[in-house]
Amino acid sequence: MAKELKDWCITRNLEWGVRFPGHGDLVVYVWVDAPIGYISFTEEWRRTLVVTGKVLRHDSRIIHFIGEDITYHHCIFWPAMLKGAGYTQPWLLLLRAC
């Protein structure tokens, strides 16, 4: 049985984190700011190896090895953020029971 997708709040009331613009009391939820790190790390790695082509756009197969406890984020939010930014979505998700 499919479950209904619900709105997802991308901010948290925390002391630490990336501040949400215009709201000094809120920070961006880690699942929104972490993908920026994933993408920038991979792009920098590609540059250091002098690999030609676009690693994360349209000509690659991204395989995620993830813990079962973060399935929701990797199956819904991460692909949606990648698609919205014009990046290739995961081709395969391999889950490990926690």
Summarize pLDDT for 7-50 with one digit per residue, the tens. 888 889 988 888 889 998 999 887 777 777 777 887 787 777 65
The 10 Å Cβ neighbour count of residue 82 is 19
- CA nearest neighbour of 23 among 13, 38, 35: 13
φ and ψ at 32, to 5 degrees? -100, -35
At 55, is the pLDDT very low, low, confident or very high (cuts 50, 70, 90)? low
